[in-house]
A and B are shown apart, each in its own frame.
Chain A
Amino acid sequence: MSSILAILFDGVVYSSWLFMMAAGLTLIYGVMRILNIAHGSLYALGAYAAATIAGAWLAAGYAPVGSYAMLALAAVLVGVVVGPLVERGLLRRMYGQDEVVLLLVTYAAFLMLEDAIKLVWGVESKLLTEPYSLPGNFHIGALAYPRYNLVLITVAIVTGLALAWALYRTRQGKLLLAVIHDREISAAMGINVTRVYLVTFTLGSMLAGLGGALTAPTIAVSPGIGVEVIVLSFAVVVVGGLGSLGGAALGALLVGVVRSFAVRYWPEAELFTIYGVMALVLIARPKGLFSAPEARKI
């Protein structure tokens, strides 16, 4: 029984991480109709920025607890600096083009950012283990788990709730929902769609950066960590339905838990189960679990 609990816990931890990535990706798609491959680079940038900033904080001898705030700071900085750079400098010139063309544009941005990271931080791994080991462990049965995982789960839940509140209860959020629903009519109603795009992309980038920043203490931060993340995030977003926040949460949970069972009982099939779930969901519901109805074309 405790092994099932352990598997479920692992699954929820992984789901939390997936949700952080999927939430930003699905929001950006919902509002801007762009599937942002560069999301992976922003994740990597968040991890690198966290390693640098939190690392500097700890090296300077300040209170280790403050390193968590530094992680958050890193995420915000990444989102606020790189997000508008990509949106304004690049994407804004390409709006109105085919979705697949935009996909390729974000792919190009991803390639450029990957090498930019190498130029700034070099190719050696960066380690930032203190925030991870600081809270110590707790126990499920005989197994010891780092309490840091609880931090991850908590942040994911809080982020999800905060996003939902912001979207459905604030005026700014409702503007976003309007643009998600219909860009042209929103613009005709006087909504500054250009600004909504900028805000959305920045917010999405911050979320990706936060995902990276929170992951940094658990891995060796090195070039290429952003690569696999994108494909996984995409699978979650597709399962949940492009543009749906609730779908991202549900998709993350589904994929995370299924993967956790696979890792325990059939490790070779880890990726197979993740994409297998995606394929199965798409067969049953071609647009994902929560998808918008489509208007008639003729």
Chain B
Amino acid sequence: MNPVLVATGLDKSFGAVTAAADITLSFERATVVSLIGANGAGKTTFLNMVTGYLKPDRGSIRFEGRELTGHTPREITGLGIGRSFQIPQLFHSLSVRENLLVAEGIAHATHVEAETDAVLARFDLASYGGQPAGLLPEGVRKLLDVAMALVAKPKVLLLDEPTSGVAADEKFGIMDLVMGAVRGQGVTVLFVEHDMDIVARYAARVVAFYDGRVIADGEPARVLGAADVRRYVIGEETHAAT
């Protein structure tokens, strides 16, 4: 029971807005966890703090025992945490292949071209290889975004809404590809998601956020069925008798 990532007592406010209030969470190796919550509940803020884009007002975040707060995204990536973004952060004028070549080059891959081809195959992106990343359909952009984050072989992978903006019938395909890529490598995956079907299918554990706090944390069936989660996150009122 040696957790790979531990957040303790995280606080973050932007003026009058509380984005995080006393967040304490711990994540084990090789688990898949989904972070759910309404917009503004604090999920992306949490990811931003873990990766060093934001500094928490109070609290600590430890990765394999090392304190992360105060470090930059570059340093934290170097330690072994990868991240994809709500709006895919790509190099729009470079081709899909070149995007991956950049990532491989930065990760000091020994055979940059071969590794890139392997990634393209694994994520079913080979046919898009030569196209500029800025002109791709959203699903492809999302996949490329995740593929780039995985190049450095991170131990913890943070996915910020990996299927948002993607056509409904493509969502599962994307998650299958992503989960397939990390299977068997002991990666801890945290994914923010609004689609509860995706959550139910891929998550072994669900953490629900509301108003900067964690309101539920546990097995998907239990969390997704909890009354306050249904009210504050999923948006369904439970009625006494139907």
Contact = CB atoms under 8 A, between A and B. Distances in A.
Nearest to B53: A298
Nearest to B73: A298
A296 B89 CA distance: 14
B86 interface: yes
Interface string B30-74: 000000000000001000100001100000000000000000000
A16 B185 CA distance: 67
Nearest to A298: B85
A296 B48 CA distance: 10
Interface residues of B, number: 9
Contacts of B86: 298
Contacts of B53: 298
Interface size class on chain A is under 10
B177 interface: no
B139 to A, nearest CB: 20
Interface in A178-197: none
A298 B86 CA distance: 7
Contacts of A296: 48, 54
Main SS of the interface on chain A? Answer: loop
A296 B87 CA distance: 13
A298 B48 CA distance: 8
A298 B85 CA distance: 7
A94 to B, nearest CB: 20
Contacts of B54: 296
Contacts of B48: 296, 298
A157 B86 CA distance: 49
A52 to B, nearest CB: 50
Nearest to B44: A298
Contacts of A298: 44, 48, 53, 85-87, 89, 160
Contacts of B89: 298
Interface string B77-96: 00000000111010000000
Interface string A61-88: 0000000000000000000000000000
Interface in A251-298: 296, 298
B74 to A, nearest CB: 15
Nearest to B15: A293
B55 to A, nearest CB: 13
A296 B17 CA distance: 14
A296 B160 CA distance: 15
Interface string B155-183: 00000100000000000000000000000
B149 to A, nearest CB: 13
Interface in B80-135: 85-87, 89
Contacts of B87: 298
B44 to A, nearest CB: 8
B53 to A, nearest CB: 7
Nearest to B45: A296
A295 to B, nearest CB: 10
A296 B85 CA distance: 13
Nearest to B47: A298
A144 to B, nearest CB: 55
A298 B53 CA distance: 9
Nearest to B51: A298
B91 to A, nearest CB: 15
A298 B54 CA distance: 11
Nearest to B54: A296
B224 to A, nearest CB: 27
Nearest to B48: A298
A298 B89 CA distance: 9
Interface in A193-223: none
Nearest to B14: A296
A298 B83 CA distance: 12
B90 to A, nearest CB: 13
A296 B15 CA distance: 14
A170 B87 CA distance: 40
A167 B54 CA distance: 34
A296 B86 CA distance: 13
Interface string A101-132: 00000000000000000000000000000000
B189 to A, nearest CB: 19
Interface string A23-45: 00000000000000000000000
10 contacts: A296-B48, A296-B54, A298-B44, A298-B48, A298-B53, A298-B85, A298-B86, A298-B87, A298-B89, A298-B160
- Closest 4 A-B residue pairs measured CB to CB? A298-B85, A298-B53, A298-B89, A298-B86
Given A296-B54, A298-B89, 8 more contacts: A296-B48, A298-B44, A298-B48, A298-B53, A298-B85, A298-B86, A298-B87, A298-B160
